Chain A
Amino acid sequence: MSTINPVLDKETEEAQRYYSASQWQLVWWRFKKHRVALLGGLVLLFMFLSGLFAEFIGPYGGSTRNIEYLLGPPQIPRFWDENGFSLRPFVYGVTTERDPETLALIPITDTNVRNYIFFFIEGEPYKLLGIIESNIHLFGVQEGFVHLFGTDSLGQDLFSRVLIGTRTSLSIGVLGVLISFFLALFIGGVAGYAGGWLDYGIQRFTEIIRVIPIIPLYMGLAAAFPRDWSSTQVYFAMTLIIGLVGWPTLARRIRGQLLTLRNEDYVMAARLSGASPYRIISLHMLPAFMSYIVVDLVISFPYVILAETALSFIGLGLRPPSISWGVLLQDAQNIRAIEQAPWLFIPAAFVVVAVLAFTILGDGVRDAADPYSVH
Chain B
Amino acid sequence: MSDQKLIEVENLKVYFPIHGKGLFRREIGAVKAVDGLSFYINKGETLGLVGESGSGKTTVGRALLRALDPTEGQVTFYLDDGQTVDVTALKGKDLRNFRRYMQLIFQDPRSSLNPRMTVRDIIAEPLVANKLEKGKAVDEKVRETAALCKLNLEHLRRFPHAFSGGQRQRVGIARALVSNPKFIVCDESVSALDVSIQAEILNLLMELQEELGVTYLFIAHDLSVVAHISDRVAVMYVGQLVELAATEELFFSPKHPYTEALLSAIPEVDPDLAMKPVILRGEIPNPANPPPGCRFHTRCPYAEDICKTDQPVWQEIEPEHFVACHFADTLQLKGVVADTAAENGRNT
Contact = CB atoms under 8 A, between A and B. Distances in A.
Contacts of B7: none
Contacts of B103: 272-273
A287 B161 contact: no
B106 A265 contact: yes
B346 interface: no
Contact of A274 (B129, B164, B172): B129
Nearest to A286: B116
A271 B96 CA distance: 8
B159 interface: yes
B53 interface: no
Contacts of B157: 20
Contacts of B125: 269-270, 273, 275
B162 to A, nearest CB: 3
Contact of B97 (A19, A20, A274, A371): A274
Contacts of A19: 155, 158-159, 161-162
Interface size on A, as a range, is 20 to 34
A372 B126 CA distance: 24
Contact of B108 (A5, A265, A372): A265
B67 A23 contact: no
Interface string B290-327: 00000000000000000000000000000000000000
B130 A4 contact: no
Interface-central residue, A6, A266, A274, A288, by most chain B CB under 10 Å:
A274
Contacts of B106: 265, 269
A119 interface: no
Nearest to B163: A6
Contact of A270 (B111, B118, B129, B164): B129
A372 B99 contact: no
Contacts of B126: 273-274
B130 A273 contact: yes
Nearest to A280: B129
Interface string B97-137: 10110011010101111111010000001100110000000
A23 B97 CA distance: 31
Contacts of A284: 114
B99 A23 contact: no
B111 A20 contact: no
Interface in B56-114: 65, 67, 96-97, 99-100, 103-104, 106, 108, 110-114
A276 B125 CA distance: 11
A195 B100 CA distance: 28
Contacts of A334: none
B175 interface: yes
B175 A269 contact: yes
Given A6-B164, A20-B158, A271-B67, A288 B116 contact: yes
A1 B192 CA distance: 14
Contacts of B118: 20
A110 interface: no
Nearest to A263: B111
A338 to B, nearest CB: 54
A190 interface: no
A191 B190 CA distance: 36
A268 interface: yes
Contacts of B175: 269, 273
A279 B129 contact: yes
B67 A268 contact: yes
A288 B115 CA distance: 9
Contacts of B65: 272
Given A18-B162, A274-B96, A372-B161, A269 B129 contact: no
Contacts of A288: 114, 116
Contact of B111 (A265, A272, A275): A265
Contacts of A371: 161
Contact of B116 (A4, A20, A268, A287): A287
Interface string A21-62: 111000000000000000000000000000000000000000
A275 B110 CA distance: 20
A20 B159 contact: yes
Nearest to B108: A265
A275 B100 CA distance: 11
A97 interface: no
A266 B159 CA distance: 14
B111 A266 contact: yes
Interface string A10-22: 0000000011111
Given A287-B116, A288-B116, A372-B115, A274 B158 contact: no
A5 B164 CA distance: 7
B100 A270 contact: no
A271 B125 CA distance: 10
A264 interface: yes
Nearest to B178: A273
Among A4, A265, A269, which residue has the most Cβ atoms of chain B within 10 A?
Answer: A269
B112 A23 contact: no
B159 A22 contact: yes
Nearest to B155: A19
B125 to A, nearest CB: 5
A274 B130 contact: yes
B162 A269 contact: no
Nearest to A269: B112
Interface of A: 1, 4-6, 18-23, 264-266, 268-276, 279, 284, 287-288, 371-372
Given A266-B114, A269-B104, 7 more contacts: A20-B157, A21-B159, A266-B112, A269-B175, A273-B99, A273-B175, A273-B179
Q: Which 8 A-B pairs have the closest CB atoms?
A: A19-B162, A275-B129, A274-B99, A265-B112, A273-B126, A265-B111, A19-B158, A266-B114
Interface of B: 65, 67, 96-97, 99-100, 103-104, 106, 108, 110-116, 118, 125-126, 129-130, 155, 157-159, 161-164, 172, 175, 179
30 contacts: A1-B110, A4-B161, A5-B164, A6-B162, A6-B163, A6-B164, A18-B162, A20-B158, A21-B159, A23-B159, A265-B108, A266-B111, A266-B113, A268-B104, A268-B112, A269-B112, A269-B113, A269-B114, A269-B175, A270-B129, A271-B67, A272-B103, A273-B99, A273-B125, A274-B96, A274-B97, A276-B96, A276-B129, A288-B116, A372-B161
